[in-house]
Structure 1
Amino acid sequence: MPARLRPADPVAVAAARARVEAGTADKADLRLLTKHYLAVLETRAPGRSVEVRVPPYAAVQVVEGVRHTRGTPPAVVEMDAATWIALATGALAWPEAGDSARVRASGERADLAPYLPLG
């Protein structure tokens, strides 16, 4: 089971978001924002039926339903950091991400649209 993440300092989040929007973000910014928004998702969609993976930075288990304990969870959502940040901030809509194959989602409850954007 992936460890629970903690939201980042709001000042650091704002600075990293500004660099993302300006096109000057580095890997540290992507890591900070990825982990921050996954932590926010954990609080808004508690549970263990969907594993959201954003390699290489982090993964979390969210959404109520069938509890996952070992092996592959019943639902998996995977994407890159830029896509996750865009979804979390509302710069990209869930249907658009799926239609453009920027998100790979399988299994029941793999639709994160009800939880997005995060802020």
Structure 2
Amino acid sequence: MAFEVSRLFGGFLLAPSRVPVYFSWLDALSYIKYSFVGASLNELHGLQLNCNGLKTTMFNATYNITETCITSGEELIKERGYDHISLEGCIGVLIAFIIFCRAWAFIGVRFLKN
């Protein structure tokens, strides 16, 4: 169950900016989030995208919604909600997860009684 919660709030299926407020604390427990955000920050930082200006999207053939294109990786980082932590912070949190899990496993094995 914990792995499913971790995968759901990891940022791949649901952006952190779109998570309901009452579930916002769950994404801090997801090691997948820090892996995905770290990889996204690494790839998107400094990226320049080509855009022809405006993009028109048609919904149900009744009305059009015009939206602007994202022209840089920094805009995409901000739009997806990945700007709250740095790449180094993601690496630090992942190392802390590894240390915590190894310590927890050591304690479990050490005090396991047959």
Report which of the two has the higher share of strand.
1
TM over 0.5: no
TM-score where L is the length of structure 1: 0.27
TM-score where L is the length of structure 2: 0.28
